Structure 1
Amino acid sequence: MPAPSERQTVEVGGHRLSLTHLDRVLFPASGHTKAQVLHYYARIATVLVPHTTGRPASFVRAPEGPKGQSWVAKNPPGGAPGWVPLVPVEHREGVTEQVVVDSTAVLIAMANLGAYEVHVPQWKSAAGPDAHDRLVLDLDPGPGADLVVCCRVAQRLRQLLDDDGLTAHAVVSGSKGLHLYAPLHPAPGRAVCAYAKELAARMMGEHPGLVVVSMARMERRGKVLIDWSQNASAKTTAAPYTVRLRERPGVAAPVTWDEVAACRDPDELVFTPERVLGRVADYGDLLAPLTGDATRAALP
């Protein structure tokens, strides 16, 4: 992308986009502008898009950054170009048309409209919500716990998943915690949820002083919540490589198991957009096995 100014017209993937408010400072704590976020998405798209293609996306919209108003949006943002692909998704409140982020152009178009965080379910629209192809566990530290504790929990969960024939991949959430993914042969969402809940309960049984499966905040002090419920068909998880709207721009960044094992300070696994681009240049997509059929395993 060209050097920033307040407004520019660019061509992305054969589509013309008018990028606006490029000088707007979205993250005052770090100084990151909208232009810098768009630049990150333009460069990271080659590894981000494979993890969102085919999946109906929801967005956290915050046109003025995390200090301004923000909300979760399932419907396409107002002003979305007509070429952006949409799929119908049935919810309790009815059917909504949702964006599928299947190209760099779509990713840039959404971010340009203030849809900075991308969230997706663990199933693709072509197969439907009864064919989940990924399992996800969201490790969320309660008060008095931190990312280091999440890493210790993740190491044991990796072993339990491996015992069940599943291969775990770690992604720092870009907020406080850690996501664990495992590629699956397509399975019904209820079955994946049931397995994830049983796995979390098994872990809590082993380490009752370290792990909790209840959302109740008073029960979470000093412990890590294993949120298994994000495997429900109606739930979504922050997509790998998405920017997170925190005081500083975090990123949901894949990490190696060596990094998880070595973590002794939460700041060791906090990544800016610039650092993530450097990591991808050095290592490629650490989550590439998540998108390949060869690594998928049957749900136990």
Structure 2
Amino acid sequence: MADDRTRVRVEVEGRVLVLTSLEKVMFPGTGMTKAEVVGYYREVAPAILPQLKNRPVTRLRFPHGVTEQSFFEKNLPSGAPSWVRRVTLVSPHSRRADELVTYPLIDDVAGLVWLGQLGALELHVPQWRVTGDGTTDDEAAAARRQRGADRVVIDLDPGAPAGLHECAQAALLVRDVLAGAGLTDVVPVTSGSKGLQLYAMLPTPTDPEQTREMAKTIADHLQAEHPELVLSSMAKQARSGKVFLDWSQNVAAKTTICPYSLRGKKDSPFAAAPRTWAEIEEGAADEIALDQLTPRQVLDRLDSLGDILNAS
């Protein structure tokens, strides 16, 4: 139990929260504390909240920091504030209609601060949103209706010794194929881990089965055209030195790291960060030009470049 002296009552946009253990070091490699995690999510809120809006949030929690045990959490935990929006859906991996999961829907700064207090460093979301807002029984029922996917995401996962340099080269190939399919609103996002994702915005909500097939067709095509660089197979033994185009992230039951989310990596804190195509082109030409970004770099870029993803 946290020492009472570490308990702090804060008011965030009219919501009162009790924060504890703010001095706890979450990233020993740099000394980043829980207070700094909460501070990051407060600062990045204007950019990350549009990405979270009406998307059920699965959290990767690190209660005692990134070097200790972590766990994925889908259900809203007991003791969650009553004001946290929520939606109840059939469990994505269940074959029965009565196996339900109640997810949080995070749409305000207070919700982000609450997640930071829980040690929820990583926020993962699907490529679709729900309707309704889940604040009353009637609205909760409406919120069970899933909209179609509003984007196609292709996850570029490098197999060592390949890295971001090879991911950038593959990203340019994917961009050209997407453009040929009429999808020109495409934003690259370095994942904060090893690779990057490409988000192609769809003009109208689309059945996730169709977006999955679209992504798989692109991956299969590029593997056939560039077998030395691109892989569409999930076989891990074949990934060495290549970039796996993970088309499966578009399945309705799958989630992807939310843009602007922190990553719970043991070396240093990084965040998923939208990038410009100029950066990707430079990274494709130069082996050391592209790197993952720290939370501070993400916030500085928002100040200087604005919100690349939400402006698209």
The question of a shared fold, defined as TM-score above 0.5 by the shorter chain, is answered with yes
Q: C-alpha deviations, 1:70-115, integer Å up to 9, x for none?
A: 1111011343211111101212332110001111111111111111
Asked if 1:206 corresponds to 2:225, the answer is yes
Q: What is the Cα deviation at residue 129 of structure 1?
A: 4.1
C-alpha displacement of 1:265: 4.0
Match of 1:259 in 2: 279
User: Which residue of 164, 170, 188 corresponds with 1:147?
Assistant: 164
Q: Verify: 1:179 aligned to 2:193, yes or no.
A: no
Contact 2:166 2:243 in 1 (8 A): yes
Match for 1:75: what amino acid?
Answer: N
Distance 2:227 2:63 in 1: 42
Write out aligned runs for 1:46-61 (5 A): 46-61=46-61
Query: Partner of 1:62 in structure 2?
Result: 62
Partner AA of 2:168 in structure 1: C
Report if aligned partners of 2:11, 2:17 keep a CA contact under 8 Å in 1: yes
Output one character per residue of 1:203-260: Cα deviation in whole Å (capped at 9) or x when no partner.
Answer: 1111011111122211101100100001000000000100000021110000000011
Q: What 5-or-longer segments of structure 1 have no aligned partner?
A: 291-300
Q: Distance in 2 between matches of 1:48 and 1:79?
A: 24
Mapped to 2, the partners of 1:134 and 1:63 lie a distance apart of 32
Match of 1:277 among 286, 293, 299: 299
Please give the alpha-carbon distance, in whole angstroms, between the structure 1 residues aligned to 2:269 and 2:21: 18
| Aligned residue number for residue 297 of structure 1 | none
Within the candidate set 104, 118, 126, 2:123 is matched to 118
> Across the two proteins, how many residue pairs are aligned to each other?
286
TM-score (norm 1): 0.92
CA shift, 1:7, in A, is 3.0
Match of 2:310 in 1: 288
| Deviation at residue 266 of structure 1 after TM alignment | 5.3
1:160 aligns with 2:170: no
- CA shift digits 1:157-207 (9 cap, x unpaired): 111101111121100000000010011110101111111100111111110
For residues 199 and 96 of structure 1, do their structure 2 counterparts lie closer, same or farther at Cα, with a shift above 3 Å needed?
same
Structure 1 counterpart of 2:197, which letter?
Answer: H
Which of 96, 111, 120 is the equivalent residue of 1:106? 111
The TM-score normalised by the length of structure 2 is 0.88
Give the Cα–Cα distance (whole angstroms) in 2 for the partners of residues 14 and 203 of structure 1: 51
Q: Which aligned runs of 4 or more in structure 1 are off by greater than 3 angstroms?
A: 127-130, 265-268
Structure 1 equivalent of residue 264 of structure 2: 245
Q: What letter corresponds to residue 32 of structure 2 in structure 1?
A: H
Q: Where do residues 10-25 of structure 1 align in structure 2 (5 Å cutoff)?
A: 10-25=10-25
Instruction: Determine if the alignment matches structure 1 residue 134 to structure 2 residue 156.
Output: no
Query: In structure 2, what residue type is equivalent to 1:279?
Result: R
Q: 1:216 & 1:45 partners in 2: Cα distance? A: 37
Measured against aligned partners, the alpha-carbon deviations of 1:118-165 in whole angstroms (never above 9, x if no partner) come to: 111010111844511111000000121101100000011111101111
Is the 2:188–2:276 Cα contact (8 Å) retained in structure 1?
yes
Q: Secondary structure at the match of 2:179?
A: helix
**What SS does the corresponding residue of 1:226 show, helix, strand or coil?**
strand
Specify the alignment match of 2:236 in structure 1.
217
Identity of aligned residues (%): 42
Per-residue deviation at 1:6? 3.3
Asked if the contact 2:280/2:290 (under 8 Å) is kept, the reply is no
Give the distance between the partners of 2:119 and 2:233, measured in 1 at CA. 33
In the TM superposition, residue 23 of structure 1 has moved relative to its aligned partner by 0.5
2:135 is aligned to: none
- CA distance in 1: counterparts of 2:27 and 2:306, whole angstroms: 27
C-alpha contact 2:186 2:198 (8 A) present in aligned 1: yes
